[in-house]
Structure 1
Amino acid sequence: MSKGTFVSEHESHFTVWGFIKGFAKLVIGFLLVLQGLIGLIILLLFVGVLVQVTNGIAGSNDPVSISIPKDAALVLDPNGVLVEIAEDINPLDVLREEAYGMSEPSQIEVHDVVKAIRAAKDDKRIKGLVLDLGALGASPSSASKLHYLADEIDAFKESGKKVIAVGDYYSQDQYLLASHADEIYMNDYGNLLIYGYGSYGTYLKSFLEKLKITTHVFRVGTFKSAVEPFIRDDMSPAAKEANIAYLSVLWNKYTQSVEGARGLAPGTVEDYANNMGAIMKTVDGDFGKAALETGLVDGLMSRADMNEKLMEAFGKSKDGKSFKKVGFKRYLTSLDDDDDTSAPNIAVITAAGTIIDGEAPTGRAAGGDSIAAQLRKAREDDKVKAVVLRIDSPGGSAFAADIMRDEILALKAAGKPVVASMGSLAASGGYWIAADADEIWAAPTTITGSIGIFGYFNTFENAAAELGVFVDGVGTTDLSPILATGIGPLPSSAADIIQQSTENGYDRFLTVVGNGRSLEKDYVDSIGQGRVWIGERAIELKLVDHLGDFDKAIEAAAKLAKLEKYDVVDMKEKRTTFEIFMGNLSTTALKALGGDEAKRNDSAVAKLVRAAEEKAEFFEEFNDPNAAYARCLACE
C-alpha cells in the first residue's frame, strides 16, 4: 500500500465515528424541527377549537358589547389605505411582517366607514364626530371614495351633531374630508399642501435601447397609452389630451367640494395651490398661518390645546385626561351585521383590483374564475332576485373579463336584473364586464372607458449577442423559432399573428360594448381607441346610464326586480380568522423551513424586498392565455 493512500486504524476509526456523530446530529436536528412544527400545529388547532366553541356559544354574528359613554364622540381615525374591499388578513403574515420589519399599511373598506358614520348619526350615545385622519391614505384614483365619505359627513351633520377635525397636518386627500367638518384645527407647526392632480410616468425607450433590449408592442387605439413608457421618452400628445381632460374634472370636483363646505369664494383653493410661494412670503414661510389666513383651517394649536377643545365639546373621560370618545374600529365591531331575513335578496358581487385569469383572493385581485363563481352562485340561488356588480378595477386579462361576462349574460337570461355600480375606477376590462349590465351607474369622478387592447414583451437577442450568447437550432415549422424567443428574436410570422389577435380582441371589445349598450360599433370605436373618460362625461357619451353612488345602484336593482322589501347580501364567502390562519399554515411552514426570511431584520432591506415582491406581483397579474390585456395602466 502506498504512502499516499495509507490511513491508520485510528484515523479510520475517527472518520467513521465522526460520520456517525454528524449523521446523528442531523437526525436529532430534523426531529427537533418536526417536533416544533407538530407542537405549533397542535397549538393552532387547540386555539381554533376554542375560537369556534366561543363563536358557537356567543353566536359568531353577534356584535361585541362595548361601553360607550353618554354624549361621547365617535373618533373617525382609520389607520390604512381606503379601498373598495379589503383582502383577508392572515395573522401569521402579520406576525412575520412585524418580526422582520416588513409591515404594510392595512386596508380600510370605504363601506365600513360609511356604516359607522350612518350608525353614529342615529345613535343617541354619540354626540358628535371627530375626524382624526392623519393615518388615512388614498390612492390617486380614489377620488370617488373620498367624495362618497364627504357626502356621508354632510348627512351626519343634518342630525345637528357637531363634526370637528383635528390633525398635526393634512394631506390633500385627508383635507377633502376634513373640509366638511364644522371646525378644523391643525398643529401650529403643521402644514396643509394642496397640489392638484397629475399623471406622470417614467419613460424607458432610450434606456432599453442602451441595454439593447428589443421591445415588442401590439396595440389598437390612438389613446392606448399603457405601453408608451416602453416605446417613447415622453408622453404622447394624445395621452396628454386624454389625461388632462379627466384630471381637470377631478380637480374641479375637489375645489368645488372644499370651497362649498368651507364657504370660500370660487377660485380660493386653486389660488392657494398656484400661488403658494407668494402666500408663504406674506406669513414668513409659516405653513400653518398660510392655511389659516386663506380660511382653510379655523385654528392653530398644540395637541394639548386640541385635547382641551375636544373636552369642552364632548366632556371629560373618567380619568379626566381626555374627552369622552369611542374609536372607529371599536365602534364598528359593536354594530349589528345586516340580517338576511325571509325577504328576497339583492346580491352584491365586488370585482376589485386587477382582473386576472383564474382564481384570486378577495381584495388582492379580481380573479375571473372567482368572480364568475360568485355570479353563478347568485344565479342558482332562488332567493336572489337581482345582482349589483360593484366594479373598482383598471381591467386586466381580456379572457378573464369575458369569462365573467358569460356569467352576467347567464344571469340576465335567467331573468335576474344586473346593475353595474362603478367605484373609483372601472376602466378597460373593468368596463368590459359592465357593458352588458341592465343599467350602469357611475360617480361623477369615476375613471372609466379605456376601450382598447394591448400586448407587450421584450426580447434580449441583441443584449445577449453583446455578451457572446447566441441561440441556434432547427424546427419543423415556420413558427418553431418561437421556442427560442426571449434570448432569441421574435419571428416576424409570430409578431404578425399576435398583432392580428390583438386587433381581433379590440374588435371583440367593440362588439361587446356595442351589443351591451345598443350602440353602433363605429360610434364605440370613435369614443374608444383606448381613451379614458370621467364619469360625468361618460354619461354624455352613453357609456353609463346614471350618476349616483352604490346606494342608488342598490335601489335601481330593487326597482328592476320590482322589490319593495329586500335584503342586501354579499356573495363573497366570509372566512373566520381561524380559517384564514389554518388555510395559510402549510405555506408559512414551508417558508419557515427554507429559512429565507430569517435575516430580514433590517428595515431598509425589508423595504427593498417588499418593493421587489410588489414588482413581481405586478408582472404575475399579466397571465392572460392569449396575452391580450384590456387594462388602463395610466389610471392606476
Structure 2
Amino acid sequence: MRALPLLLLCPGLVLAQTGLITQPAVPPRGVTLPPTSAALVDEATALSLNPASLRLVGPGQLFYLHERNLVRDQVGDALFLGSSFGGGLGAGLGVEWLRGQGLPDYRKTSFGLAIGAGALSLGASYHALSSEHRDIERLSGFDLGLTLRPARFLSLGAVVKDVNAPTSGAFSLPRVYQVALGLRPFGERLTLGADYAAAQGAWEAGQLTYTLRATVLPGLGLGAGLSHGFGTAGPPLALQVAATLDGSRFGLTYAAGGVRGGGTDHLLAVRLSGERYAAPRLGRGALALVDLDDRLVARGGLRSDLLGLTGPEPYLELVQWLDEASRDERLKGVVLKLSALPGVDWAKADELHHAVLRLRAAGKKVMAVLHQVDDRTYLVASAADEVYALSASSLLVNGLSAQVLYLGGTMEKLGVSWDVARVGEYKTAPEQLTRRDLSPAERETLEAFLDTQTAYDVETVTKARRMTPERLREAWSAGILTAARAHELGLVDGVLLPEDFDAKLEALVPGARYDGDYSPRDERDARWSPRRRIAVVPVIGNIVGGKSRRSPLGGDFAVGAETVILALERAQRDPSVVAIVLRVDSPGGEVLASDLMYRAVLEARKHKPVVASMGDVAASGGYYAAMGAHEVWASPTTLTGSIGVFFIKPALRGLLGDKLGVSEETLGRAPMPDLVNLWRPWTEPERKAMQGWVDAAYDDFITQVALSRKLDKEKVDAVARGRVWTGTAARERGLVDELGGLVEAVAAARKRAGVPEWEELDLKVMGEARGFFSSLGGEPGVDAGSSPTPLLPPALQAFVRESGLESAWMLEPGLKAAQPFSLRVR
C-alpha cells in the first residue's frame, strides 16, 4: 500500500494511503494535490477535496496533474474542469487514472455542484470507480462540503467524504470527516491552513495537516505541507514542498514529498484558465488604449433582451474603470481616442477631464488622439500629457453657444393652442411649444449659464494646456481648425501619422508593453471575502411613474420611480453595501414620481449614508430626487435647480375641428368634468382651479427643499421659481453642498460610512434587470441595459429630442417638474 502525503491538499487521501484507515483494501481517493486544504482550495481541484469551493473557481479552469513515485512505481494522472456561474453556482468534472497502487488499475470519474451566497457555499460531488476488477467497478461514493469565508483573513471548511461508505467485495471506502481552518494574518501574500481528518469510529487516530503558502513575487508562489497522525497506529510524518509559476492564463506547479522509506512522490500540475492570474511583471509596465466613444455605447442585442442580462450604465462603468486604472501599479500609460463622446455633456466632460488628471497624478502617462472633436471633447483631451490630432482630423473648437428649438409658430399654423399653469417666470419648460422665441426670463438664464460655462471652459483648458486665454480665443475665431492649424495655435502637440504611432508610444513610456486587452480588474481576485460595496443608484433620464423604460422614437430613457425605489430598498437591505450614491442625470419629469423617489431617499438615509452626485443635469424633478441625501455634490457646470412645477395640455379643436372636420361633444355630471379635456381651452374657473393646484404643489416643493437643505422657505423661494443654476451658483445659494464628480461623491460616501481609506471597495450599480428572461417580465434596470432599439435613425432622433416631441409623457395628466424640453450647449 502506498504511503504518500496527501497533506494539505487532500488529507482524506492521506488517511487512505498512510494507515489511518487500517482496512488494507481501501483504494486511494485520488491523485495527490499540491499543498492545500479544504479551507484554502478554490480552483477546479476543489472537486477532489471540497466540492463546496467549486462556486469560487471563476470562469473556466482546466487542471492536468501527473503524479509519479519511482521507488514504488506508482503513477497517477488527473484532469479537472471547473467553472463558477452567475447566481452563486459552480460545477466541476474530473477524471483520474491510478496505476500501480498494489491494486488493480482503475479510473475515478467525478461530478460536483456547488451553490451559495455571500460568504457561505455548499457543495456535493459524486465519484464512481471503473476497473476491470468487478468489485472495484461497483464502488461509488458521495461527498458533501461546506466553505465559509466570513472575513478577508478567515476561511473555514468541512467535508464528509464517502457519506454512503460503500463496500464491494473485498474493497471499501470508509466515511471520513474533515474540518479545516485557513488564516491570512497579513493579507493575501501569506496563507496558513490546518486540517483534521478522521474515519468514522476512529476519532482519536486522525490525521492533522498543516499548510503554508506564500506569494513571493507576482506570479511566483511557494508552498509546504506537513502531516502527522496520533498514536502508534496513526499515519506517519509526511512532508511536501511545492513551487508555482503563474502566467496570465497558464500556470505550472511542481511538488515533491513523501514519508520515510516510501520514496519521493513527484507531482506536476498544469493550469489553463479563462480568468487571468497575476503574472510576473516583466518589462516596464503596460500601455492601454481606451476608445472613449466605444466605451460610452450601451451593449445590448437579442441575447441581452431575451435573457434579461444588463451591464452597468456605460458612463458610470467608464468612470469606475478610469479610477481603478489610476490605482493599478501595472499600468504605466494610457492612449485616449476621442471623438463625439455620445451621452456626455459639459458636467460629465468635466468629470472625465479630472479623471485624466488623476491618472497623471498617479504617475500614468496619458496621450490623447483626436478625431472629430468639439469644445466639449477638447475639454477632456486637454487634461492629457500630450494631445495629437490625425492629419485629417477636424477640431470644431469654436466657443460655446446655446440653441433652443421653438414650435409656437408651428402650433399656430396647425390651430393648436396650449393651456399652461405654472409658478415662476423662470419655469419656462412649456415655452418650447407655446412661443416663437426666447422669453426674457429664458434669455436671462441662458446668458448667465453661457457666461459661467465659457469662463470655466477657458480657465480649465488654458490651465491644462499652459496657454493664454487670448490664444484659445484666437482658435475660436477660426471657426473650425485643421490639425495643422491646431498645432500652430498650440491646441495639439503635433499631427500624428499612423507610421509614427509606435514611436510616440515608445517615447511616452519607454519599454512599456502595449496590452490590447488591459483591464484594471482583469486578474483573479484572491480575496476570501468580497469587497464591501458602495451602491450606485442611477436616476438617469426623464422621471416617470412605474418602471424604467426607453422611448421608441428618440431613444431617450425614462427612469421609473418604481425601479429606483426598488433599487434603493435592495441597497439598504444588502449587508455588503456600506453606503449609497444616488447618481442623478435628469431634467425632471412627473412631480408624483419625483416625490416618491425623494421619500425613498429619505427612508434609505435612515439606514445607510446616502450621497447624491449630479451629472450633466439634475434640475426640477431631478433636483427633487437628489435633495433628500445627506450630501449633494454637483460638478461646476451641472445644470441644476429649476425648482418649480407646471401643468400643460393642448386644445386641439382648431386642428381637428376647424381644419379636419372632427367634432366632439361632452356630457358631464359635475361643474368641471373635463378639466383635462384635450379638445378645448380652459374656462376661467378651470384655469383658476388648475393654478391653485399648481401653486399648492409648488409650495410643497419649496417646503421640502427648505427642510432638506435647512434653509428658510423665503430664501428657497427666491432662488426657485423655475430658475436654472450652474453647480457653482447652486453651491453659493445653498442648493448643493460640494463641487465634484462621481469619484468625489463616492469618497464622501465612504467617509460617512466610516470606511478607512486603505480598504478597497467595489461600486455596484443597483437596479439592473435580474435573472433569466427578466426583461420580458417587465423588470428593466435603471440603466436600460436591455432596451428596445429606437425606431428612428439618429438624425431624426436628434430632431425629435430638440423639438420636445419625444417627451410624450409631458402631455399625460399630472403635474410636471421639468427643465426646458431641450437645451443644447456646444
Scaled to the shorter chain, the TM-score interval is 0.7 to 0.9
Of 647, 666, 673, the residue aligned with 1:455 is 647
| Counterpart for residue 43 of structure 1 | none
* CA gap 1:340/1:528 in 2 versus in 1, 3 angstroms: farther
* CA gap 1:91/1:315 in 2 versus in 1, 3 angstroms: farther
Q: Does 1:294 align with 2:482?
A: no
| Counterpart for residue 276 of structure 1 | 478
Q: Does 1:507 align with 2:709?
A: no
Listed as ranges, the gaps of 5+ residues in structure 1 are 1-48, 96-105, 281-285, 317-322, 586-596
Amino acid corresponding to residue 488 of structure 2 in structure 1: E
* CA gap 1:184/1:426 in 2 versus in 1, 3 angstroms: same
Q: Does 1:622 align with 2:810?
A: yes
| Counterpart for residue 746 of structure 2 | 554
RMSD: 4.0
Q: Does 1:202 align with 2:405?
A: yes
Q: Does 1:126 align with 2:328?
A: no
Q: 2:557 aligns to what SS in structure 1?
A: coil
* CA gap 1:76/1:237 in 2 versus in 1, 3 angstroms: same
| Counterpart for residue 36 of structure 2 | none
* 1:562 to partner: Cα distance: 4.0
Amino acid corresponding to residue 487 of structure 2 in structure 1: L
* 1:124 to partner: Cα distance: 4.8
Structure 1 contact 220–529 (Cα < 8 Å) conserved: yes
| Counterpart for residue 395 of structure 2 | 192
Q: Does 1:349 align with 2:498?
A: no
Of 87, 91, 94, the residue aligned with 2:302 is 91
Of 475, 484, 490, the residue aligned with 2:668 is 475
* 1:75 to partner: Cα distance: 0.4
Amino acid corresponding to residue 433 of structure 1 in structure 2: A
Cα distance in 2 for partners of 1:253, 1:339 equals: 43
* 1:418 to partner: Cα distance: 2.6
* CA gap 1:629/1:449 in 2 versus in 1, 3 angstroms: closer
Structure 2 contact 373–397 (Cα < 8 Å) conserved: no
Amino acid corresponding to residue 113 of structure 1 in structure 2: L
Deviation track 1:61-83 (CA, whole Å, cap 9, x = no partner) reads: 9984399995442001123484x
Q: 1:276 aligns to what SS in structure 2?
A: coil
Give aligned-pair identity as a percent.
30
| Counterpart for residue 325 of structure 1 | 514
* 1:521 to partner: Cα distance: 1.7
* 1:518 to partner: Cα distance: 1.8
TM-score norm. by structure 2 comes to 0.58
Q: Does 1:309 align with 2:504?
A: yes
* CA gap 1:125/1:188 in 2 versus in 1, 3 angstroms: same
Cα distance in 2 for partners of 1:78, 1:304 equals: 22
Range with greater deviation from structure 2 (158-167 or 248-257):
158-167
| Counterpart for residue 22 of structure 1 | none
Of 490, 495, 508, the residue aligned with 2:687 is 495
| Counterpart for residue 384 of structure 2 | 181
| Counterpart for residue 73 of structure 1 | 287
* 1:167 to partner: Cα distance: 3.3
Structure 1 contact 447–532 (Cα < 8 Å) conserved: yes
TM-score norm. by structure 1 comes to 0.74
Amino acid corresponding to residue 602 of structure 2 in structure 1: L
Of 150, 163, 171, the residue aligned with 2:353 is 150
| Counterpart for residue 229 of structure 1 | 432
* CA gap 1:108/1:188 in 2 versus in 1, 3 angstroms: farther
| Counterpart for residue 359 of structure 1 | 547
Cα distance in 1 for partners of 2:589, 2:403 equals: 21
Amino acid corresponding to residue 434 of structure 1 in structure 2: A
Range with greater deviation from structure 2 (60-69 or 346-355):
60-69
Q: Does 1:400 align with 2:593?
A: yes
* 1:470 to partner: Cα distance: 2.2
Listed as ranges, the gaps of 5+ residues in structure 2 are 1-82, 93-113, 119-272, 551-555, 780-788
| Counterpart for residue 410 of structure 1 | 603
Q: 1:248 aligns to what SS in structure 2?
A: helix
* 1:378 to partner: Cα distance: 3.4
* 1:261 to partner: Cα distance: 1.4
Range with greater deviation from structure 2 (379-388 or 536-545):
379-388
* CA gap 1:123/1:410 in 2 versus in 1, 3 angstroms: closer
Cα distance in 1 for partners of 2:274, 2:744 equals: 27
| Counterpart for residue 40 of structure 1 | none
Q: Does 1:445 align with 2:637?
A: yes
- The number of residue pairs the alignment matches comes to 539
Cα distance in 1 for partners of 2:778, 2:665 equals: 44
* 1:382 to partner: Cα distance: 5.5
Structure 2 contact 620–643 (Cα < 8 Å) conserved: yes
Cα distance in 1 for partners of 2:505, 2:562 equals: 50
Of 137, 145, 148, the residue aligned with 2:342 is 137
* CA gap 1:91/1:135 in 2 versus in 1, 3 angstroms: farther
Deviation track 1:229-283 (CA, whole Å, cap 9, x = no partner) reads: 222211112111111212222222222222111110133222321x216xx9xxx
Q: 2:430 aligns to what SS in structure 1?
A: helix
Of 365, 368, 378, the residue aligned with 2:561 is 368
* 1:384 to partner: Cα distance: 4.7
* CA gap 1:376/1:534 in 2 versus in 1, 3 angstroms: same
* 1:499 to partner: Cα distance: 2.1
* CA gap 1:436/1:287 in 2 versus in 1, 3 angstroms: same
Cα distance in 2 for partners of 1:398, 1:404 equals: 10
Higher relative contact order (CA 8 A, sep 6+): 1
* 1:534 to partner: Cα distance: 0.8
Q: How does 1:39-58 map to 2 (within 5 A)?
A: 56-57=90-91
Of 753, 756, 766, the residue aligned with 1:572 is 766
* 1:451 to partner: Cα distance: 0.6
Structure 2 contact 347–637 (Cα < 8 Å) conserved: yes
Structure 1 contact 204–231 (Cα < 8 Å) conserved: yes
* CA gap 1:291/1:334 in 2 versus in 1, 3 angstroms: same
* CA gap 1:80/1:234 in 2 versus in 1, 3 angstroms: farther
Cα distance in 2 for partners of 1:530, 1:340 equals: 52
| Counterpart for residue 210 of structure 2 | none
Range with greater deviation from structure 2 (344-353 or 256-265):
344-353
* CA gap 1:326/1:170 in 2 versus in 1, 3 angstroms: farther
Deviation track 1:90-127 (CA, whole Å, cap 9, x = no partner) reads: 435899xxxxxxxxxx9973343333334444545433
Cα distance in 2 for partners of 1:390, 1:207 equals: 37
More helix by percentage:
1
Higher Rg: 2
Q: 1:245 aligns to what SS in structure 2?
A: helix
Structure 1 contact 80–107 (Cα < 8 Å) conserved: no
Range with greater deviation from structure 2 (57-66 or 175-184):
57-66
Deviation track 1:148-203 (CA, whole Å, cap 9, x = no partner) reads: 22222222223444222223443322222222222222123322121223221122
Amino acid corresponding to residue 766 of structure 2 in structure 1: K
* 1:224 to partner: Cα distance: 1.2
Deviation track 1:350-401 (CA, whole Å, cap 9, x = no partner) reads: 2121111111159933211111122233344456554332222111111001
Cα distance in 1 for partners of 2:736, 2:796 equals: 42
* CA gap 1:499/1:342 in 2 versus in 1, 3 angstroms: same
Of 360, 381, 388, the residue aligned with 2:581 is 388
Of 728, 745, 750, the residue aligned with 1:536 is 728
* CA gap 1:482/1:177 in 2 versus in 1, 3 angstroms: closer
* CA gap 1:256/1:65 in 2 versus in 1, 3 angstroms: same
Amino acid corresponding to residue 163 of structure 1 in structure 2: V
More strand by percentage:
2
* CA gap 1:182/1:478 in 2 versus in 1, 3 angstroms: same
Structure 2 contact 604–610 (Cα < 8 Å) conserved: yes
Structure 1 contact 471–488 (Cα < 8 Å) conserved: no
Q: 1:471 aligns to what SS in structure 2?
A: coil
Structure 2 contact 411–417 (Cα < 8 Å) conserved: yes
